[in-house]
Chains A and B, each alone.
Chain A
Amino acid sequence: MAQPARPAASYRSQNGAGQQPYSNGPVQNQMMHSSDAQGYSPSVPGPYSHQTPSKVPPHPSSGQYNYSGSQNVSQFNSYQGPGQTLNRTPAAPLSGSPVQQTGPVPQVLPPALQNSAAVSSAGGFPPGVSPPMHPNWQYSQAPVSHPAAAQPSHSAPVAGTGPAQPPPPLSGNPPGSYQYAASPGGPSLQNSYMKPGSVPPPVTQPLTPLHPPSRPPLGPPPVGGPPLIRPSTVTAGAPSTQSLLHSATNQEGDATSAAGDGSVVQNSYDAIEGGGLMATPHPSAPANLKMNRNVGYSYPALPPGYQNTSPPGAPGMQASALQYPDGSKHFHQPPLGTNHLNASMGSLSLQQEGLRPVNLLQERNILPTTLLQAPVPNLHEDIQKLNCNPELFRCTLTNIPQTQALLNKAKLPLGLLLHPFKDLSQLPVVTSSTIVRCRSCRTYINPFVSFLDQRRWKCNLCYRVNDVPEEFMYNPVTRVYGEPHKRPEVQNATIEFMAPSEYMLRPPQPPVYLFVFDVSHNAIETGYLNTVCKTLLDNLDLLPGNTRTKIGFITFDSTIHFYSLQEGLSQPQMLIVSDIEDVFIPMPENLLVNLNENKELIQDLLKSLPQMFTKSLETQSALGPALQAAFKLMSPSGGRISVFQTQLPSVGMGALKSREEPNQRATAKDIHLTPSTDFYKKLALDCSGQQVAVDLFLLSGQYSDLASLGCISRYSAGSVYYYQSYHHKHNPVQVEKLQKELKRYLTRKIGFEAVMRIRCTKGLSIHTFHGNFFVRSTDLLSLPNVNPDAGYAVQMSVEESLTDMQVVSFQSALLYTSSKGERRIRVHTMCLPVVTTLSDVYLGADVQAITGLLANMAVDRSVSATLSDARDALVNAVIDSLSAYRSSVLSIQQPGLMAPSSLRLFPLYVLALLKQKAFQTGTNARLDERIFSMCQVKNQPLVYLMLMTHPSLYRVDNLTDEGALNINDRTIPQPPILQLSVEKLSREGAYLMDAGSVMFLWIGKSCGQSFISQVLGVPNYGSIPQNMTHLPELETAESIRTVAFISWLREQRPFFPILYVIKDDSPLKSSFLQNMIEDRTESALSYYEFLLHIQQQVNK
């Protein structure tokens, strides 16, 4: 059923590249946590999780849930996920029909969405989930969820949930709907909330319990002005009951979750009381946050069943919130009282937990055993579930300080980290002739705006009141008029618009790819041309594009060679331009040709290219002139230039001199991190102006001055790849790496002639940008190309104090031309609470985001000042924030080094940064390596940056299925993450270190024979080959587990991490040990020493 619905909707879901893996693990967790924290009472783990997803739907992640889910249910979910976004409309009709109720769950869901999230979720689960549910559950849960949701699902016919449901015939009584809703929940619960009257078939009951989601519906009903709030109130009531039940029944597996519930409830309650539009951050809220985190950690351990989350039905939720309708507040009110009590108690304990300072010197094992999840902003659940996925948009402080003074006091950087073009498994796309935007600040309408009435909405960034255009009154999804608040634009924090012609300065450009190869003697020696041409040949059909795709080639040594691929030629014709002082294009056409029409000629060229220069003795490299030629060739159309370079450019414009002095590496001073010429920067800006991006592949054994060369990519929004000492024979590992990365590079999504703008609520201002692009005007980033693997960061300050604001919002809008020639706008919106006290600011600190932003700032500092300045600044960041915490937040001065538990990993991460290639001292890092590492810091999305900085270490010789994930019939073991210290290694074990772009499998000397023979496939330790980079796929259980785990890790990222198997005598052992961040090295402190140092400074 669900499927049909999709088509109906105007949206299309887009599939990103392999996102699935993501969804499985971490994402779900987050969702679950967040939900818990926010308000739901987790009491029933199963149902909850389901719920959450439903609410979430708008997020891309929702789709992901499905995967993780076990059983049929999960499948449904997945379906729905996509479906939901697409089709809300269809759903509505469905709900109306009795048929749906009984049978097909999936169908139900869609309706649910429209009506109330809860409903939908309920629908989905029934098949799988319901059985598990016990009567008890129903009781407890029922109160919570039901009101609306339950009813809709079964009772759709009976009573609409009211406003939301209108489509169904029943809708007649919107107000009444509430009551109905209650009833569903209830048969059991009815007493408390609802009126029995309505309801439904027994069958439904089981389902209802499941659907905690139903609660959300409750919220909405209340109606009234500030829609959001109301929902909360309702919810609050429900939760309280739930929590009580829980305790009584004690059914829940998760103690923690239960606790969370309590707190959650409270929040919602408070919010209600406050009456503010959005949930206001309450003191209690922090507590919740904490809870979430904790839960998050534990998450891995949860049995797979729990993890299933149903897809997000959520959109409904919001809608409900927004609805003006009628509310029957009084119904819920009574329960509130109890809730309140309950909640407050819960919150108390929670809060303490959240604010509990951690003595870093005493707590040896602070590293969580699972990947750290982003903290969940302390917003009302209804808002939070609509919030942007933290993988796309993240803020260093999830509680925004109200004034600059408060921010300064906290000594933490305020900034955003974005990954705007990430491949998404599911993305709602809206085609509409009018895109609704604020008339004064041009913000796109988003889930966090408020509707004053049906005809007017208030911008959440500048607070201007705007009219709702006539067209927007009609909801294409539900085909209902007069529900602007249910449009997909208002239901999804991440959405893509098809841009009409006013968003084009010129007709969308065709995809144009130009490859520029270094063919000097040195380049031919490395043999890279073979690999590149072969990979290109294999992926020629996979290049993103359409029938207009154009491609061209240039090679250069001390001269520049063009290739005419004119139709009708029997073979490509080479044209040599030897005047490199004044480069010109030898012929006006046929150098860039249509890929489809000239495929054979292109294939011929790629096959013959590697052999054409084998006898070349030319050692000079005229990179500068070649780039100028490429620019001239590309400037009429725009597009992408991929440059392969293997040495320092030596002739013509842009020639460079070697600046590396090996014996000076040890001193952090006097190393050349700044470009030596502005040639590449100027050229990059020219390229940027013509919508041309340059990607640089540097494959060089010697110093090639990446600091200067990198500018060409940095300012034209390209990317830099560096393969140190690439050689086809001597360095086979690099060859494989190049192959894999090039494949990804060639086939990944690409956006052309893009611009990105980041807006934030009045009062905040963005003052610094990090990433590869050119800042064309104050807040407009020019991105000639945008790719899914690029991350960006910005720093902000609080210019005017945010008095009277409960929440602030951030919106990034990326306008680009897809490879199919469509102009699209991808919009992400994030909403965060504002706080007034320092302890709340610390509570909301996102330590990973802070580390990421500090790393970006440190790169700038090393370039503008010196490396040692940057290192000092990093250490000072820790010292300042911890001493501010000590002096301003801690009431009792305790001995030791106290940190808020949100920042307990801060010193560890900063120490990891100090030991990272980009910032380390000592003689290990070559200059180009260091600069490449800096490029990565600037250009990598946060997740990979964190892995690169602080790798994850797992013990893999004793993997078990305990706590394993189940994905697509594969069992993925989930070993705990170990601290990065040699002390954690044992000679008897085998350890996997996942450092993002590279993995190490370290085999202990006395590692169990079974592991060596059954996983590595060699008879004994001594016979493990020196350069082993693949694990054989053997039929043994150990091998299957290990391989499954490693491939699962790999699937989560777009690039391909190479696996090195290392033993005691491997040359790579030093790289492995270098990542042991907690240990002492010749030039750096151990973690404990570092803490002592910090303590000393803090206590001064």
Chain B
Amino acid sequence: MESVVFIFSLIDCCALIFLSVYFIITLSDLECDYINARSCCSKLNKWVVPEVIGHAVVTVLMLISLHWFIFLLNLPIATWNIYRFIMVPSGNMGVFDPTEIHNRGQLKSHMKEAMIKLGFHLLCFFMYLYSATTGARLTDLTLSN
């Protein structure tokens, strides 16, 4: 059971890593002028909800499976994701707004945020990997016994 939880988390975490990388690539494309603000934002906004859900699922799963440490680790980021999503002003076109993204250094802060998330997810990835393998070993041991 342990290992199932972690293997699922591992897969989910991989997806989140890919998503972070995608965010970073798209934002840097925008920075370099390869795409315009409009298409960049519409691409990214599509993935904001999946990201929120993906992360919330892992967090909840950890809570349910009573892995307190991992849960608390995930909580701030999950909360931030949800907060950011809820707090989008009614006139904006999503978390990424093409009319705002070039103003007040927003592009940079989005970029920074995506980097931080990437780092966090990588950390989680190895943690899940470790837990999954040790968990699996434990089950192996019990089985062989």
A residues engaging B (CB < 8 A)?
A: 674-678, 681-682, 685, 689, 707-708, 711, 715, 767-769, 774-778, 780, 860, 864
Contacts and interface: CB of A to CB of B under 8 A. Distances in A.
Instruction: Please list the 9 inter-chain residue pairs (A to B) with the smallest Cβ-Cβ separation, ordered nearest first.
Output: A675-B91, A775-B102, A777-B33, A678-B93, A768-B103, A674-B89, A674-B91, A768-B104, A676-B90
| Chief secondary structure at chain A's binding surface | mixed
Nearest to A682: B93
Nearest to B34: A777
B30 interface: yes
Given A689-B38, A775-B99, A681 B104 contact: no
A858 to B, nearest CB: 14
Interface size, B (range): 10 to 19
B124 interface: no
Which of B36, B37, B91: most chain A CB closer than 10 A?
B91
B102 A769 contact: yes
Contacts of B31: 778
Contacts of B102: 769, 775, 777-778
B90 A678 contact: yes
Interface string B82-110: 00000001111100001101111101000
A1095 B92 CA distance: 40
A200 B127 CA distance: 93
A315 B107 CA distance: 43
Nearest to A675: B91
Nearest to B31: A778
A780 B30 CA distance: 12
Given A675-B91, A708-B91, A778-B33, A685 B98 contact: yes
A777 B93 contact: no
B99 A681 contact: yes
Contacts of A769: 102-103
A711 B91 contact: yes
B99 A715 contact: yes
A674 B93 contact: no
A43 B102 CA distance: 50
A776 B91 contact: no
Contacts of B103: 767-769, 775, 860
Contacts of A777: 30, 33, 36-37, 102
A681 B104 CA distance: 19
Contacts of B99: 681, 685, 715, 774-775
A653 to B, nearest CB: 15
Interface in B26-85: 30-31, 33, 36-38
Q: Most chain-B CB neighbours within 10 Å: which of A675, A678, A682? A: A678
Given A769-B102, A777-B30, A778-B33, A685 B91 contact: no
Given A681-B93, A778-B31, A780-B33, 20 more contacts: A674-B91, A676-B90, A676-B91, A677-B90, A677-B91, A678-B91, A681-B91, A685-B98, A689-B38, A715-B99, A774-B37, A774-B98, A774-B99, A775-B99, A775-B102, A775-B103, A776-B37, A777-B33, A777-B36, A864-B89
28 contacts: A675-B89, A677-B91, A681-B92, A685-B98, A707-B91, A708-B91, A711-B91, A715-B99, A767-B103, A767-B105, A768-B103, A768-B104, A769-B102, A774-B98, A774-B99, A775-B99, A775-B101, A775-B102, A775-B103, A776-B37, A777-B33, A777-B36, A777-B37, A778-B102, A778-B107, A780-B33, A860-B103, A864-B89
Nearest to A707: B91
A675 B102 CA distance: 19
A866 to B, nearest CB: 12
Contacts of A674: 89-91
A689 B98 CA distance: 12
A253 B104 CA distance: 50
Contacts of B30: 777
Contact of A685 (B38, B90, B107): B38
Contact of A678 (B33, B36, B92): B92
Nearest to A765: B105
Nearest to B92: A678
Nearest to B30: A777
Nearest to B107: A778
B99 to A, nearest CB: 6
A715 B91 CA distance: 12
A707 B90 CA distance: 11
Nearest to A689: B38
Contacts of A860: 103-104
Contacts of A689: 38
A682 B30 CA distance: 19
Contacts of B98: 685, 774
Contacts of B107: 778
A316 to B, nearest CB: 41
Nearest to A781: B102
A689 B39 CA distance: 11
Contacts of B92: 678, 681
A775 B92 CA distance: 15
Nearest to B33: A777
Nearest to B41: A685
Contacts of B91: 674-678, 681, 707-708, 711
Nearest to A714: B99
B37 A675 contact: no
A776 B98 CA distance: 8
A593 to B, nearest CB: 31
Contacts of B101: 775
